[in-house]
């Protein structure tokens, strides 16, 4: 912590004792990681057996001809309170499944069995349970986490007692900490609320892990999807930030727990980002904290993270305050000052965060930023301002070339469901606009329905910025109407008007009365953009930001011109209203929304692709069966090896006739290659029936070839450019920081000599 005198603190005996206790606990956890794994092979006849508390890997090897059989492992008495495993459907073919198992306490009531759904060819070849070190990793993580919290609180208390911390800082930090706890209440249960897209994002996390295990860096095609056929979700939907829940999974947490921990991290990051940005804009900790709280507990953000489980949109909202702060600096600061030459940095970082979070948010942001540049055209045409905007735009693109190049390559050269109206579930945006009643309604429950033409307000989602932000908008309108703002000569009037205008515009764009159908019919480009947008209410994510900034401007105005009450009273009132309705919303979500407990990847299934946007055009999921190898005339398969979640495979074939082919159980995306293991020569690869990988075999071919995904050279160039640009910018900022520090030191020495 900045300001803490660590050398002095380490002289404190109580603190040293605390560190010693934490060290011993961490050492005990580390020692547990070196224990020898033990394996048991119980029967599968449903008889109970004993397992000690800990974590295990369950291996089951089987043969099945239908997807009607289920493997179950449970505690016959205490259920999920003791054993966390679940069940999963056995796939067709010869398969080996390695499944994680968590046992919370010693039990004699574990039982495992296979429920045969009428498959006469079902047979289990192997069933064994082996202990793992995941429990030790979990304990070590928790010890380190609790230790950091305890050390931080002790250091704060010690520093306050010795040097003092201002009352404002204490109140601000307490309010932020309390808000974080309140908005993370749904993370404090042992299940996931049934969000609309939570299954899709859980599969993305598991797919990222499987891709890394498959040797892809970065991951492009995730092999766990669609019964092992693979899905190019990582090319179209960046999974950079999913490394965080993937890390939790590697530590050993269940799928559900990893997801909830990640949501808590997202909440903390959003709150911290909003506070730091708003504090700098309003030059006040209190106003910055109030605006940040209003933003993070806004109705639509909470609805996004828990009800819609719109993880990409929620992650993008982490970076919206940083984008606003970057634009604010560029358009408000003096272009002649030396520090102005770095005002591009917050904007570029914020835009990069959104690019890596949610492509559709980039589409909405592009519209909003373009409109801002039109409104601020005089300032845009100032050379220094224009140059900073250009630097931010160019560096955003270059930093993200590693992701944008493959995305653009597939978008322009491939044919996928996305962009083709006939294959999309949501064919136009008009029915998904919202009534004005949605914006004005305050007491939202656990619903998620949009589509006002079909459902109206019944079980509607929280498509609103929330009561407190709505009150700020109405109060600003009142002040404009009575002329108080103009008469006072308030310095923040232009910023407030801009945020008010944007908020009202977003209300209009989200409305079911906005002519989305008419716009969609004007050109193919607009049709593609609006179809991909899907839901106009997505604009509310930006509306929550603009309304929060407007609330901060109001508090700024009241601080300078308030008469009936102080700005602190106004801040407490707005925050109080926000937290009241927030807790009502959270309470209803927890009490009325369905939930699910998912522990390991097998219990998740593999075929939920949401709208199927990234499938090859018109590919039929129902025809995708594990290990389904189809041969052309004259071809015989002599060997076949492929992992359940891996995309590379080795295939032995004999082609006794003319030129023929073999089709493999992997979806075809451009980049797959087949190499003969004996000669090193490449065989031709193309899309086969139902868009699977088809390897063309020359006449009389006999041998073994390996199929794998190879990144095109252009993609590697993009990755190298992004890495070089990021390294160059980091070096530039580090060197310029050192130069600034030297100048400050020289200036300080000169001042001391002068005195």
Closest residue by Cα to residue 314 from 195, 434, 207, 232: 195
Report how far apart, in Å, the C-alpha atoms of 618 and of each of 237, 427, 564, 621, 691 are.
20, 15, 64, 9, 9
Q: Using omega within 30 degrees of 0 as the cis cutoff, is the peptide bond preceding 218 cis?
A: yes
| Run of H or E including 112 | strand 107-115
**Cα Rg of the chain, angstroms:** 29
Q: Are 410 and 236 in contact (CB under 8 A)?
A: yes
* Residue 75: alpha-carbon gap to chain centroid: 33
pLDDT > 70? residue 753: no
Q: Compute the residue count for the chain.
A: 755
Mean pLDDT (the chain) is 91
pLDDT > 60? residue 242: yes
DSSP labels for 511-563? Answer: BTTS-HHHHHTT-HHHHHHHHHH--GGGGHHHHHHHHHHHHHHHHHHHHHH--
Q: Are 463 and 303 in contact (CB under 8 A)?
A: yes
- Own/partner pairs, 472-475, CB within 8 angstroms, 24+ separation: 472/294, 472/547, 472/550, 472/551, 472/554, 472/574, 473/500, 473/503, 473/504, 473/547, 473/550, 475/554
Alpha carbons within 13 A on the beta-carbon side of 220: 25
pLDDT > 50? residue 540: yes
State what percent of residues in the chain have pLDDT above 90: 66
Structure tokens at 350: 């914020």
Task: Convert the pLDDT of each residue in 550-604 to its tens digit.
Answer: 999 999 999 888 765 688 888 999 999 999 999 999 999 999 988 888 999 988 8
Task: Convert the pLDDT of each residue in 159-200 to its tens digit.
Answer: 888 888 999 999 999 999 999 999 999 999 989 998 888 889
β-pairing verdict for 660-667 and 672-676: unpaired
- The CA-based angle 420-426-432, given to 5 degrees, is 140
Which residues is 624 bridged to in the sheet?
none
Instruction: Give the model's confidence band at 746: pLDDT under 50 very low, under 70 low, under 90 confident, else very high.
Output: low
Rounded Cα distance between 529 and 366, Å, is: 12
**Domain topology for 621-709:** Immunoglobulin-like (2.60.40)
Domain 39-132: homologous superfamily in CATH = Galactose-binding domain-like (2.60.120.260)
pLDDT > 70? residue 144: yes
Domain ranges of the chain: 6-33+143-164, 39-132, 173-195+237-415+427-593, 621-709
Question: In this predicted structure, which of 196-210, 353-367, 636-650 has the lowest mean pLDDT?
Answer: 636-650
Instruction: Give the model's confidence band at 1: pLDDT under 50 very low, under 70 low, under 90 confident, else very high.
Output: very low
Which residues is 654 bridged to in the sheet?
636, 702
Structure tokens at 86: 């679940």
Torsion sign (Cα): 296, 301, 304, 307: positive
Task: Convert the pLDDT of each residue in 398-431 to its tens digit.
Answer: 999 999 999 999 999 888 888 776 666 677 888 8
Closest residue by Cα to residue 552 from 328, 396, 738: 328
Averaged pLDDT, 11-26: 93
Q: Are 90 and 70 in contact (CB under 8 A)?
A: yes
Rounded Cα distance between 57 and 241, Å, is: 27
Confidence (pLDDT) at 278: 97
Highest mean pLDDT among 85-94, 129-138, 723-732: 129-138
Which residues is 55 bridged to in the sheet?
102
Rounded Cα distance between 182 and 195, Å, is: 19
Q: Are 307 and 193 in contact (CB under 8 A)?
A: yes
Residues 563, 564, 569, 575: what is their CA dihedral angle, to the nearest 10 degrees?
-110
């Amino acid at each position: 912590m900045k300001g803490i005198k660590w050398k002095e603190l380490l002289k404190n005996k109580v603190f040293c004792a605390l560190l010693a206790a934490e060290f011993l606990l961490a050492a005990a956890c580390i020692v547990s990681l070196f224990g020898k794994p033990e394996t048991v092979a119980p029967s599968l006849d449903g008889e109970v057996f004993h397992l000690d508390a800990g974590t295990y890997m369950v291996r089951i090897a089987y043969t099945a001809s239908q997807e009607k059989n289920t493997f179950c492992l449970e505690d016959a008495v205490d259920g999920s309170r003791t054993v966390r495993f679940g069940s999963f459907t056995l796939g067709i073919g010869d398969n080996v499944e390695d499944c994680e198992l968590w046992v919370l306490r010693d039990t004699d009531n574990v039982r495992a069995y296979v429920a045969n759904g009428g498959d006469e060819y079902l047979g289990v070849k192997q069933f064994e349970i082996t202990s793992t070190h995941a429990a030790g990793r979990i304990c070590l993580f928790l010890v380190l986490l609790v230790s950091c919290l305890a050390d931080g609180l002790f250091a704060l208390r010690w520093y306050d007692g010795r040097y003092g911390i201002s009352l404002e800082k204490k109140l601000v930090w307490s309010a932020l900490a309390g808000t974080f706890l309140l908005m993370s209440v749904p993370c404090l249960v042992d299940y996931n609320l049934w969000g609309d897209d939570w299954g899709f994002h859980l599969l993305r996390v598991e797919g990222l892990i499987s891709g890394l295990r498959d040797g892809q860096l970065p991951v492009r095609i995730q092999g766990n999807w669609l019964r092992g056929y693979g899905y190019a979700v990582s090319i179209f939907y960046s999974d950079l930030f999913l490394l965080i829940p993937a890390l939790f999974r590697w530590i050993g947490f269940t799928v559900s727990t990893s997801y909830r921990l990640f949501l808590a991290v997202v909440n903390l990051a959003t709150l911290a980002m909003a506070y730091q940005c708003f504090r700098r804009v309003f030059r006040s900790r209190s106003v910055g904290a109030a605006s940040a709280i209003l933003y993070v507990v806004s109705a639509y953000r909470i609805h996004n993270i828990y009800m819609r489980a719109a993880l990409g949109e929620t992650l993008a909202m982490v970076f919206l305050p940083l984008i606003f702060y970057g634009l604010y600096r560029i358009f408000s600061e003096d272009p002649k000052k030396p520090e102005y030459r770095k005002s591009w940095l917050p904007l570029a970082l914020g835009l990069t965060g959104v690019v890596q979070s949610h492509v559709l948010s980039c589409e909405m942001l592009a519209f909003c930023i373009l409109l801002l540049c039109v409104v601020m055209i005089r300032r845009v045409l100032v050379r220094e301002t224009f140059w900073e905007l250009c630097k931010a735009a160019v560096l955003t693109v270059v930093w993200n070339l590693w992701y944008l190049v493959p995305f653009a390559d597939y978008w322009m050269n491939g044919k996928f469901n996305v962009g083709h109206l006939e294959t999309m579930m949501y064919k136009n945006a008009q029915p998904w606009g919202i009534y004005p009643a949605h914006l004005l309604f305050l007491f939202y429950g656990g619903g998620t329905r949009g589509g006002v033409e079909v459902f109206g307000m019944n079980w509607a989602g929280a498509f609103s910025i929330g009561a407190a932000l709505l009150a700020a908008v109405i109060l600003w309108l009142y002040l404009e109407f009575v002329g108080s703002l103009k008469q006072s000569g308030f310095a923040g009037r232009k910023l407030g008007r801009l945020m008010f205008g944007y908020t009202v515009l977003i209300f209009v764009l989200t409305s079911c009365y906005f002519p989305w159908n008419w716009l969609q019919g004007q050109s193919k480009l607009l049709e593609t953009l609006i179809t991909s947008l899907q839901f106009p209410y997505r604009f509310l994510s930006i509306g929550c930001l603009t309304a929060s900034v407007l609330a901060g401007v109001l508090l700024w105005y009241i601080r300078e011109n308030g008469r009936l009450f102080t700005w602190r009273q106004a801040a407490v009132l707005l925050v109080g209203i926000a937290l009241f309705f927030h807790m009502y919303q959270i309470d209803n979500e927890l009490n009325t929304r369905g939930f699910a407990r998912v522990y390991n990847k097998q219990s998740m299934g593999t075929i939920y692709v949401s709208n199927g946007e990234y499938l090859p055009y018109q590919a039929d999921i129902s025809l995708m069966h594990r290990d389904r190898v189809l041969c052309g005339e004259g071809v015989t398969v002599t060997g076949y090896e492929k992992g359940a979640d891996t995309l590379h495979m080795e295939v032995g074939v004999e082609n006794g006739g003319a030129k023929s082919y073999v089709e493999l159980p992997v979806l075809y995306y451009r980049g797959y290659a087949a190499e003969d293991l004996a000669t090193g020569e490449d065989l031709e690869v193309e899309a086969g029936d139902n868009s699977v990988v088809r390897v063309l075999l020359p006449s009389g071919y006999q041998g073994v070839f390996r199929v794998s995904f190879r990144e095109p050279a252009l993609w590697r160039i993009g990755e190298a450019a992004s890495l070089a640009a990021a390294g160059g910018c980091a070096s530039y900022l580090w060197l310029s920081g050192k130069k600034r520090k030297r100048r400050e030191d020289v200036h300080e020495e000169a001042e001391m000599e002068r005195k």
